[in-house]
Structure 1
Amino acid sequence: MPHDAPGSMTPTPEDPRGLRADAPLFDAYLRALAEPRTPFIIPGHKRRPDLIGPLALGDLPLSGGVDDVKMRGGYLADAQQRAARLWRADVAHFSVGGSTHGNQALMLAVAGPGQKVVVPRTLHRSLLSGLVMSGAEPVWVLPEVDERRGLPAGVRAAQVAEALAAHPDAVAVVTGDPGYVGTIGELRETAEVAHAHGVPHLVDAAWAGHFGFHPDLPEHAIALGADAMVTSVHKTLPGYSQAALILARTERIDPARLAAAIETTLTTSPAGAIMASIDASRALLERDGEELLGQVLPLVADARRRLSRIDGAHVLDGADVDPAKIVVQLPGTGADGVAVEQDLLDEGLPLEMADRDTLVAMITLADGATELDVLVGALTRSIERRRGAPRPVVGAASWTVQPQTVVPPRQAFFAEHEAVAGNEAVGRVSAELVAPYPPGVPVLAPGERITSTALAALREARDAGTRIAYAADPSLATLRVLR
Structure 2
Amino acid sequence: MKSQSSTPILDALVECCDKETIHFDVPGHKGGKGLAYFDTILREKGLRLDINSAKPVDLLNNPSGVIKQAQALAAETFNADHCFFMVGGTTAAVHAMIMSTCKPGEKIIVPRNSHESVIKGLVLSGAVPIYVQPGISKRLGITNGVSMADIKEAINRNRDARAVLLMNPTYYGATSNISEIVRLAHSRGMVVLVDEAHGTHFGFHKDMPMSAMDAGADMSAVSMHKTGGSLTQSSMLLVKNGIVDSRSVMTTVQLMMTTSSSYLLLASLDAARKNLATMGDELVGRALELARDARNRINSIKGLYAFGGELINGDDIFGFDETKLGICVSGIGLSGFEVYDLLREKYNIQVELADGSNILAIVSLGDTRSDIDALVAALEDIIASHSGGKRQIEQPILINPYVVISPREAFYSPKRTVRLEDAEGEVSGESLMLYPHGIPIFAIGERITRDMIDYIKFLKKQSAVLVGTEDPGIEHIKILGM
TM bracket, shorter-chain basis? 0.7 to 0.9
**Structure 1 equivalent of residue 131 of structure 2:** 140
How far off is 1:355 after superposition? Answer: 2.7
Q: Secondary structure at the match of 1:212?
A: coil
Answer yes or no: is the 8 Å Cα contact 2:75–2:238 preserved in 1: yes
Q: Distance in 1 between matches of 2:462 and 2:277?
A: 43
**Structure 1 equivalent of residue 439 of structure 2:** 441
Q: State how 1:29-44 maps to structure 2 within 5 Å.
A: none
Answer yes or no: is the 8 Å Cα contact 1:107–1:134 preserved in 2: yes
Q: Distance in 1 between matches of 2:176 and 2:112?
A: 14
Deviations 1:124-172 (A, max 9, x none): 0001100000000000001110222222121222211100111111000
Q: Distance in 1 between matches of 2:87 and 2:179?
A: 29
**Structure 2 equivalent of residue 413 of structure 1:** 411
**Structure 2 equivalent of residue 175 of structure 1:** 166
Answer yes or no: is the 8 Å Cα contact 1:63–1:71 preserved in 2: no
Q: 1:450 aligns with which of 448, 455, 475?
A: 448
Q: Distance in 2 between matches of 1:299 and 1:114?
A: 47
Deviations 1:216-251 (A, max 9, x none): 212211101211111101101110000111001120
Amino acid aligned to 2:409: Q
| Higher deviation after alignment, 274-283 or 69-78 | 69-78
Q: Secondary structure at the match of 1:114?
A: coil
| Higher deviation after alignment, 473-482 or 103-112 | 473-482
**Structure 1 equivalent of residue 357 of structure 2:** 357
**Structure 1 equivalent of residue 387 of structure 2:** 387
**Structure 1 equivalent of residue 27 of structure 2:** none
Residue ranges of structure 2 left out of the alignment (5+ in a row):
1-31, 313-318
Answer yes or no: is the 8 Å Cα contact 2:356–2:395 preserved in 1: no
Deviations 1:72-94 (A, max 9, x none): 87010000011111111111000
Q: 1:87 aligns with which of 54, 78, 90?
A: 78
Amino acid aligned to 1:430: S
Change in Cα spacing, 1:103 to 1:72, as seen in structure 2 (3 Å) is closer
Q: Distance in 2 between matches of 1:179 and 1:71?
A: 33
**Structure 2 equivalent of residue 23 of structure 1:** none
Q: State how 1:329-348 maps to structure 2 within 5 Å.
A: 329-346=328-345, 347-348=347-348
Q: Distance in 1 between matches of 2:283 and 2:95?
A: 32
Q: State how 1:212-227 maps to structure 2 within 5 Å.
A: 212-227=203-218
Answer yes or no: is the 8 Å Cα contact 1:300–1:323 preserved in 2: yes
Residue ranges of structure 1 left out of the alignment (5+ in a row):
1-13, 20-25, 35-53
The CA RMSD over aligned residues, in Å, is 2.5
Q: Are residue 468 (structure 1) and residue 466 (structure 2) matched? A: yes
Q: 2:116 aligns with which of 103, 108, 125?
A: 125
Amino acid aligned to 1:361: A
How far off is 1:64 after superposition? Answer: 6.5
Answer yes or no: is the 8 Å Cα contact 2:337–2:354 preserved in 1: yes
Answer yes or no: is the 8 Å Cα contact 1:401–1:453 preserved in 2: no
Q: State how 1:64-463 maps to structure 2 within 5 Å.
A: 66-67=57-58, 74-318=65-309, 319=312, 320-346=319-345, 347-392=347-392, 394-396=394-396, 399-463=397-461
Answer yes or no: is the 8 Å Cα contact 1:340–1:386 preserved in 2: no
Answer yes or no: is the 8 Å Cα contact 1:429–1:481 preserved in 2: yes
Answer yes or no: is the 8 Å Cα contact 2:103–2:126 preserved in 1: yes
Equivalent residues, number: 440
How far off is 1:17 after superposition? Answer: 8.2
Q: Distance in 1 between matches of 2:59 and 2:69?
A: 15
**Structure 1 equivalent of residue 19 of structure 2:** none
Please, what TM-score do these two structures have when normalized by structure 1? 0.86
Change in Cα spacing, 1:63 to 1:316, as seen in structure 2 (3 Å) is farther
Q: Percent identity?
A: 32
Higher relative contact order (CA 8 A, sep 6+): 2
How far off is 1:322 after superposition? Answer: 0.7
Q: Distance in 2 between matches of 1:140 and 1:72?
A: 37
**Structure 1 equivalent of residue 25 of structure 2:** none
Change in Cα spacing, 1:60 to 1:473, as seen in structure 2 (3 Å) is same
Q: Secondary structure at the match of 1:481?
A: strand
Deviations 1:253-297 (A, max 9, x none): 111111111110111111001011111111110101111222221
Q: Distance in 2 between matches of 1:369 and 1:191?
A: 38
Change in Cα spacing, 1:75 to 1:30, as seen in structure 2 (3 Å) is farther
Change in Cα spacing, 1:62 to 1:241, as seen in structure 2 (3 Å) is farther
Change in Cα spacing, 1:16 to 1:246, as seen in structure 2 (3 Å) is closer
How far off is 1:18 after superposition? Answer: 9.6
Q: Distance in 2 between matches of 1:360 and 1:79?
A: 33
Task: Point out the structure with max Rg over C-alpha.
Answer: 1
Amino acid aligned to 2:165: V
Change in Cα spacing, 1:17 to 1:156, as seen in structure 2 (3 Å) is closer
Answer yes or no: is the 8 Å Cα contact 1:120–1:141 preserved in 2: yes
Change in Cα spacing, 1:71 to 1:471, as seen in structure 2 (3 Å) is closer
Answer yes or no: is the 8 Å Cα contact 1:92–1:245 preserved in 2: yes
Please, what TM-score do these two structures have when normalized by structure 2? 0.86
Q: Distance in 1 between matches of 2:112 and 2:33?
A: 42
Q: Distance in 2 between matches of 1:191 and 1:136?
A: 20
Deviations 1:11-43 (A, max 9, x none): xxx999897xxxxxx8xx979x96xxxxxxxxx
Q: Secondary structure at the match of 2:440?
A: coil
Q: Distance in 2 between matches of 1:190 and 1:285?
A: 27
Change in Cα spacing, 1:57 to 1:15, as seen in structure 2 (3 Å) is farther
Answer yes or no: is the 8 Å Cα contact 1:111–1:134 preserved in 2: yes
